[in-house]
Chain A
Amino acid sequence: MKEEGKHKKAKKYGMVINLDECTGCGACMVACMAENNVPFKEDESNKLDSIAWMRVYKLTNGKPYPEAEICYLPRPCMHCEGEHGHAPCVSVCPATATDYNHETGIVSQIYTRCFGCRYCMVACPYHARYFNWWDPVWPEESTKYLSPNVSPRMRGVVEKCSFCFHRYQLAMDKAYLEGRTVLEEDEYQTSCAQACPAGAITFGDLNNPEHKVHQLAKPDNKHGGRPGNPNVFRLLERLGTNPKVYYMSSREWVRQAGDNYINNEDLAKNYRH
C-alpha cells in the first residue's frame, strides 16, 4: 500500500475561510480547544500567553463613526509551504520538532522533541505558535473529558494548530481497513470547520480539483499557490510563506488588511502582477 501511495499526487490540505460569512462567534476557537485538549488558566485576558490554536481577530476599517466597519478573521496555523516545504518555522527548528509533511502539506509539532527554544515563535509571522509557560492544570474532574487522540502538553514546549492531524490519521486508518487509500472530502475535516455554525470554513485538499477549497481558492501552484479568485487572499502574501489558509472577502479594505503596504504604493504594479 505504501508503494501505491508513493505514486499518488501529494495532497495539500488547506482551508478557505469566507470572511463575509464569519460572524466572529468564536465557535471555531472552542471547537479547537475541546478537540485538542488545550489548557486554560484562571485569567486568559492577557492574549500574549493565552493559548488559542485558532484565534479570531477583529479588524476595523479605521474610519470614524458611522462609517466604521468591522470584520472578523479566524487565524489557525497557516501550514506554510514556503518553497518546497521550507516553512519559516520548520527552517529554524534546531530539534526537528516541527516538520513539513509532503504527503499532506501539514506542518507538524512534536511536543516530546521540542525543548522550548521558541525560535519558531519568532520566525512565525502569524503569531500562530504558543509557548507553555506553565504546566497545564485541569480542575479535579475535568481531566475526564480529555481526548486520548491528542496528548496534553507539558510546560516548556511550543504548541500550535495541527489541522487536527489525528483526525487525518483516524480517517486513514479507517480507509485502509476498508481497503481504500483515498479519503472522501468529508471524511477528514478539522474540528473548527465541522463546528462553524455559519459554515464559513471550508477544508479540503487544495490539489484536488474536485474539492471545494480548490474551486474556491483556485490556487496557482506554479506561482506559490497564489489564489486565482480575485476575492481570495492570503495573509502576508508578499512574504512568500505560501500559506495554505485562504481568506475570501467581498470587501476591498478587508483584502488589503491581509498585507502591509507602503504609502501610495502602486498596488496594481507590485501586487498580483
Chain B
Amino acid sequence: MKIGRRSFLSFVIGGAAGTAITPLPWKLMDDSSIWSQNWPWTPVPPDGEYSQSNSVCTLCPGGCGITVRKVDDRVVKIEGMKGHPVNDGGLCLMGLSGLQLLYGPTRVKTPLKRVGKRGEGKWEKISWDEAISEVAKKLADIRSNGGSHTVGSIVDSENGTVPNLFKRFLTTYGSPNFMTMPSIQDSYAMTLQVMQGVSAQVGFDAENADFILSFGSGIIDGWGSPVRMFKANSAWKANGKKVVQIEPRLSNTAAKSDKWIPINPGTEAALALGLANIIISNSLDSKKISQSTGFDSFKKLVQNEYGTDKVSKITGINSATIVSLAKNFARASKPLAICGKGQGSIPGSLNEFMAVHALNALVGNINKEGGVWAVTDTEYINWPKPEMDSIAENGMQKERIDGAGSEYPHTKSLLNRLAEVINSGDGSLEALFVSGANPLYSMPGSKAIKNAFDNIPFIVSFSSYMDETASNADLILPNHVYLERYEDVTTPAGLSKPIVGLTRPVVKPQFNTKHVGDVVMLIAKALGGGMADAFSWESYEACLKETLGVKWDILVEKGFEFNGDKCVLEGDFNFYPDAMKSLSDFSPVSIEGSAISYPLLLIPYDTIRLANGYIGDPPFAIKTVEDTVLKGKNSCVEINPKTGKELGLTEGRYASLLTPRGKAKVKVHLYEGIMPGIVALPRGLGHTAYDNYLAGKGCNFNELIGSTEDPVSGFDEAWGIRARLTKV
C-alpha cells in the first residue's frame, strides 16, 4: 500500500480521535493517580506507649507550664499544664508549635566552624573537643595580650543560672562586658530605682485590678507573660472590669478594650501628666501620697505645664475625653496604669514610664492589691565569690564598652549603644559570645549592628537554630533546645508573685548538641588556672542541683515553686526625681527624619502570631498569619484609606517604603483602624536565616529604623521613624 499525504493525515487524525474516544488513557491516568496516592511518602506515624511529662516553656519570658505527650521516645504534642500558676492549661501558639523547633529543619545539629566568608553559609562540621579548644585558644591569646576586657557576651536576660555562668566567666576572665537583650523590664527597673529607691523588678497584680489604663501595652499581643495576660483579660471581661487602650492603631488589645483612644505617637507622657493634673486638681488623689517627697514640685509641674487644653493639643485627644478618663481612672477602686509598647521589647522613653508610675502612685496603688509591685526574687544563686587574678582584676576595672554604669549610671547594660560605639571607632571587641539572643535580627538598627559585628574578629554563637546571628558567626556551639535540657526559669515578666520554674529534658538530645552551661564550664576548664577553679562543678546539672539546693526536689516533682511572697518594699515614693526635670518643657519622644522629605510616620506593631525575639516563627505559627499582614514574599503595611487616597494607593497595591535608614517593597492594606498619616508595619517578618518556611518573607522593621537614645536613661526609646510611601 502506498502511503500518501492524504492517507497519512487520515491515519494520524483518526488515531488521535480514536485514542481520545477510548477511555483507556483517562482510565490509566485515573488509576495511576489513585495508585500513586498510596505510595509510602505519606507517613504512617508509629504507635507505641503513651506517657506525659511536665516542664516549663522558655520560648519567651512568659514561663508557662507545659505538659508534653509522648509516644515511646517521640514527643507528639505540647499542651499547657493544668494548675500551673502562670497559664493553668492555656498555651499560646508559639508554645504549641514548639515541636517544630525541636524536630525542625532549622536546628544546628553539630558544632560548626565557618569556612567561607561570614554569612556565606559554608560550614565545616567539627567535634566538640575541637570547638572548645579553638575557643579556649583564642581567649587565651586575647587574655595574654592584655585584651581581656575586649571580650563580651550577649545573653537574653540577667536572671537565672545560665546568664550568671556567663557573667562569672567574664568576671574571672577579666571583662565587664556582660550585655543583655533590652526590654521594658529595664525601664521599669530604672523607674523603681529613681522613684522608689529600690532595686527590683516590676510586678502587676493585673487579675485584681478593676480599671486598666494601658499606654500602648499589647496586653493581648504578647506583653508581659502572654498567657497570663490573656487570662487576666478574660477575667476582666467576665467581671465587668474596664480596660482603656491608648495608642494610634486599633491593635487587638485596643479592639478588645472597652475604649480605644488614639493618641499622637510619642506623647503618652504628656497624657499621663495631664491626667495627673486633673486628678490632683479635683482632689481625687490618694491623700496619703501627698506627703511623699517631691509631691509639691510634681503638683506644680503638672498644674503649670500640663493643663488639659495644652495636653489635648499635644496628644490630639479632645479635652472632654481626657477629663472623663482621669475621673474614671481615679474613681475606680483598684485602678492600674501600665506602659511599655507592644510586646515590650523596646525599653522606651523613661519620661513616659515615670509619668505613668506617678499616676499609679497618685491613686495609691503601689504595692497594693490590684496595683504595681516592686518584686524581688529570693536569691538562690549564692555561689562562692571567684578568685580573681591580676588580669581579671585589671579587666574588671575597665569601663564597659556600652557605657552602662558610667555614662548612664543607673544602667547595667546598654546593648543599643554597642553598634554606635564600635562603628564610630570609640571602642572595639575582639571576641563576642551570643547565647539565647539574636541581636542581628531583633535589635532596632539591625544594619548598624551588622556593620559592628563585621568589626568583631571572633563571634561565637550558642544558638540551637540557624538564626541571623548564628549564620554570621565564626563558630556555632549549638545548645540543646528547651525540651532537651535542664534550666531554671526565674519569675516571668510582670508577675507580682515571685516564682521559680524548672525546664527539664522531656526527650533525649536529638542531635550532637551540648548544654550551653556545660560548654561555658568546659571552656573555663580549658583555660585553666583561676578560671577552672571558679567552675569546679562537674557539670551544669550538678551546678544547678547544688544551686537550687532543697528546691531541686520540689521543682522536679512539681515544676515550679513560689519563691518568696510579694515583696513589700516600703521605699519613700519620690514624685519628682531629678530624671523628671526634663518634663518641665514637654517634647515628644524624638523621631528620626524630617517631616518634609518623609511626610508619614512609620510605627511597628506586634501580634502574638509573630515572634520577634530570639525565636523565629515556626511553620505552624507563620501559617496563621493573615494575608493582610504577609502576602507571598511581601509584608503588608497598614494605612488609613484617607492616607491611601492622598497617595493614590489602593488595597493590595505594591509600594515602596522609604525611611532615613532603609527601604522595602511592601503591599498596601487599607485599614480604618489606624490614624491618618501613620504607616504600621508588623514586626517579626523579614528573616534572612532559619528555614524556608520563614526566611525571605516580608521585611524586617528593625532594618528600617535606627536606635534613638533616651537622653535620661540611655535606653532605646524609638517607637517610630519618619517614612515615605510611594507607588511602584
Contacts and interface: CB of A to CB of B under 8 A. Distances in A.
A30 B621 contact: yes
Interface string B74-87: 11111110000001
A142 interface: yes
Contact of A42 (B45, B47, B692): B692
Contacts of A155: 37
A21 B74 contact: no
Interface string B17-35: 0000000000000000110
B673 interface: yes
A65 B623 contact: no
A24 interface: yes
A69 B76 contact: no
A50 interface: yes
A150 to B, nearest CB: 8
Interface string A11-52: 000000000110111110111011101001011111100101
B626 A58 contact: yes
Interface stretch (B228-236, B271-279, B380-388, B472-480): B228-236
B624 A139 contact: no
**Among the interface residues B87, B103, B226, B227, which one has the most CB atoms of the partner chain A within 10 A?**
B103
B165 to A, nearest CB: 29
B230 A197 contact: yes
Given A20-B237, A66-B260, A146-B45, A33 B102 contact: no
A137 B692 CA distance: 13
Contacts, number: 193
B104 A142 contact: yes
A152 B693 contact: no
Contacts of B80: 194-195, 197
A40 to B, nearest CB: 5
B12 to A, nearest CB: 34
A45 to B, nearest CB: 5
Interface in B227-275: 227, 230-231, 233-234, 237-238, 250, 252, 255-256, 260, 262
Nearest to A157: B37
B620 A197 contact: no
A195 to B, nearest CB: 5
Given A34-B97, A65-B673, A199 B90 contact: yes
Contacts of A21: 233-234, 237-238
Contacts of A152: 42-45
Contacts of A34: 77-78, 96-97, 99, 620
Interface in A45-95: 45-47, 50, 52, 56, 58, 60, 62-66, 68-72
Contact of A136 (B42, B75, B262): B42
A215 B205 CA distance: 31
Interface stretch (B166-174, B462-470, B583-591, B627-635): B627-635
Nearest to A143: B43
Q: Is the interface of A mostly helix, strand, loop or mixed?
A: loop
Nearest to B41: A135
Contacts of A179: none
A33 B623 contact: yes
Contacts of B693: 40, 42
B388 to A, nearest CB: 44
**Among the interface residues B43, B231, B641, which one has the most CB atoms of the partner chain A within 10 A?**
B43
Contacts of A60: 672-673
A258 interface: no
Interface in B625-678: 625-628, 630-632, 640-642, 671-676
Given A25-B220, A45-B625, A197-B230, A68 B250 contact: yes
A147 interface: yes
Contacts of A143: 43, 45
Interface string A136-179: 10111111111110011111100000000000000000000000
A136 B41 CA distance: 8
Contact of B46 (A20, A56, A148): A148
A267 B510 CA distance: 60
Contacts of A156: 33-34, 37
B422 interface: no
Contacts of A135: 41-42
Given A26-B93, A33-B623, A45-B625, A197 B102 contact: no
Contacts of A199: 90, 231, 234
A65 B676 contact: yes
Interface residues of B, number: 78
B100 interface: yes
Contacts of B609: 25-26
Contacts of A65: 262, 640, 642, 672-676
A124 interface: no
**Among the interface residues B107, B626, B628, which one has the most CB atoms of the partner chain A within 10 A?**
B626
A63 B630 CA distance: 24
Contact of A29 (B619, B624, B675): B624
A232 interface: no
Contacts of B46: 148
A139 B623 CA distance: 15
Nearest to B104: A142
B593 interface: no
Interface in B50-107: 71, 74-80, 87, 89-93, 96-97, 99-100, 102-105, 107
A206 interface: no
Interface in B416-434: none
A30 B624 contact: yes
Contacts of A40: 619-620, 623, 693
B280 interface: no
A56 B262 contact: no
A10 interface: no
Given A65-B674, A197-B227, A145 B99 contact: yes
**Among the interface residues B38, B234, B252, B671, which one has the most CB atoms of the partner chain A within 10 A?**
B234
B440 interface: no
11 contacts: A23-B608, A30-B624, A31-B93, A136-B42, A148-B47, A151-B44, A152-B43, A154-B37, A154-B38, A197-B231, A198-B233
Given A44-B622, A141-B104, A144-B75, 8 more contacts: A23-B608, A30-B93, A65-B676, A69-B255, A142-B103, A152-B43, A152-B45, A195-B96
Q: Which 9 residue pairs are nearest across A and B when measured between Cβ atoms? A: A197-B90, A68-B672, A197-B230, A146-B45, A139-B105, A26-B624, A30-B93, A145-B99, A23-B220
